[in-house]
Chain A
Amino acid sequence: MQEAKIKADFRVNERLVLQKTNTILRKVVVYAFLAVMAIVVLIPFYWMLNVSLQSHNEVFNSLSVSFFPKEFSPENYVKVFFYESRSQGSIAFPRYLLNTGIVAFFSTIFGTMFSILVAFALSRLNFKGREAIFTLLLATMMIPGEMMVISNYITVSRLGWVNQANYGSYLAMIVPFMVSIFHIYLLRQNFKQIPNELYYAAKVDGCRDWKYLWRVMVPMAKSSIITITILKLMGSWNAFVWPDIVAHEKYKLVTSWLRSSFTDAEAGIQRVLINYQMAATVIVTVPLLILFILFRKYIMSGVSRSGVKG
């Protein structure tokens, strides 16, 4: 009897040990896989940093690429920050930063406001034509934006906002794309998840729609709202094609600076100054990265929430 028990125990132990090794092995495989993927993801960033810190000599005169800057040149960043590209009318980065900040700020405030209002109407209010509008909006999500560029340019031009050396440029960059259908969709999905009962209860208490929206729904959908705010900010930060064609030189955005500068001659090099370009890319990328790290929780939960209910 005792023998059988010892044997059974032993076999259970054996199985446990096997399971444990299996688990450890699995964990190792998973970690290895993740590590490899992480490295793959990070390579471009490493290369960006690497090239950005190399001197002109290293980049243009050597016969092979350096994996690590041999002539460490952090002064590149200072030069790039104050770089005045001759072809861009000697406007330096701080000015582009200001422009982008203004555009991002107003786009986000108004865009988010409108998204909230429309999402509310589409999710909570019952009115004639609601389904039609919603379907219409969904359909437009599938349209390539390029189709609308020329038409919008003419409209904006007739409004007198194109290439203006004043706030007209800002208007041209902010107004046409203030309303983002994708954000409305995201928010609507989230609003829909808020139980109907809450609404009816509020109604019984005599609470008006407007109050309900701002007192109840918005706080409950906080993470999605933060998400779309950040998405809008990112959108303004990364926008290129449209701002580049409508804004006056002095009012262009950071992306134009990135794309079109650094092709001047400097110190006898009439090539694209890739080390400066990479430094510029780093400068342009870092703010968003910081934003992401600070608000990571909200962004991640907001984005992942969007996929839950169809």
Chain B
Amino acid sequence: MLENKKDYKAWLYIAIPLILLSVFTFYPLIKTILISFFSQYNSITDSFGNFFDLEAYKTIFRDKYFIKSLTNTLIIVFVSVPVSTVLALLIAVGLNSIKPLQKIFQTIFFIPYVTNTLAIGMVFGVMFSHPIIPGIAPEGLINTLFSTAIDWVGPTAVAKHWMLVVLIYSIWNGLPFKILVFIGGLQNISKQYYDAAKIDSATPKRVLTKITIPLLSPMISYILITSFIGAFKSYEAVLSVAGGTGRELHRDRWTAVAYVYDKIGIAGMDSNMVSYYSRGAAAAVVLFIIIMIFTAINLYASKKRVHY
């Protein structure tokens, strides 16, 4: 009896938020998954059509731009996250070991976190600008500093250039949060460990690898998981840096999310009578599954290597 009453009360606590979530998160999610299986879904009349099959999925795996968007996304994930994490770790360790100026440095490193992704992306675009016809406009900051005349992010930029700028931006953007979590973790490490190390006159390198990192491993794992998930969903970053002034991103520069957005925005069917919207939905589901698998792997790995 008591159990039921308790249950009832608990549900009251979560009732309203749960309803909101159901309407605005669960319902759209389920609907999108369903749409991915109805390859002639009509987005204007909101009718599912008569074809319940896997055509949407087959189509996207034959679409080389989907594959390309996945590749772009994976590059961002596997380069920006590890580099950003390692840098953040080094910075956090460095910050932790100095007393004066520590607060100032901390503030500086945290500034990117409070800024608007789109806005700073635009600034990066301005920094890396380049006039297509020389003499029309000046070279941007980077080209001037390095005496180069490369089109970094403009319409004729090649993959290795704009991807480099996107990666730099992603790493830059991801530093503050990581640094913060690491500092918090570092401060929680009992001094005893370091004192013991000093007695054993361990080198700084050994201290780092044998003590600091293992003790920080729960934080590292948390950072990696959340950062990877975030990186898989990259879109605004690429759009603001390499997207030009339009709201559109060129298809060679698509991330998985950009692909979804593009397809969802086209009404009607392609030449194989598969609805574009269904293709977008299928791509979104595939992305979701990839993220889930990846997170599962991450969790499993952290179970093995994280020390509490």
Contact = CB atoms under 8 A, between A and B. Distances in A.
Indicate the size class of the contact surface on chain A. Answer: 35 or more
A274 interface: yes
B60 interface: no
Contacts of A88: none
B106 A240 contact: no
Interface string A16-43: 0000000000110011011001101111
Contacts of B219: 307-308
B291 to A, nearest CB: 5
Interface stretch (B64-72, B151-159, B177-185): B177-185
A238 B291 CA distance: 25
A272 interface: yes
B202 to A, nearest CB: 13
A63 interface: yes
A114 B98 contact: no
B160 interface: no
Contact of B288 (A40, A143, A284, A292): A143
Interface stretch (A5-13, A117-125, A191-199): A117-125
Q: In terms of DSSP, what is the predominant structure of the interface of chain B?
A: helix
Contacts of B181: 303-304, 306-307
A147 B245 contact: no
A127 B11 contact: yes
Given A144-B233, A177-B24, A272 B264 contact: no
A128 B7 contact: yes
A47 B24 contact: no
A37 B126 contact: no
B28 to A, nearest CB: 3
B284 A37 contact: no
Interface stretch (B50-58, B74-82, B116-124): B116-124
Contact of B222 (A259, A277, A296, A307): A307
A133 B24 contact: no
Interface string A76-97: 0000000000000000000000
Contacts of A145: 233
A137 B106 CA distance: 33
Contact of B20 (A117, A175, A237, A291): A175
A308 B138 contact: no
Contact of A303 (B9, B90, B184, B235): B184
Interface of A: 26-27, 30-31, 33-34, 37-38, 40-45, 47-48, 51, 60, 62-65, 114, 117-118, 120-122, 125-128, 130, 133, 136-137, 139-152, 154-155, 175-179, 181, 209, 234, 237-238, 240-241, 255, 258-259, 263, 272, 274, 277-278, 281, 284-285, 288-289, 291-293, 296, 300-301, 303-310
9 contacts: A45-B111, A65-B139, A142-B288, A148-B28, A151-B27, A176-B24, A281-B120, A300-B180, A310-B308
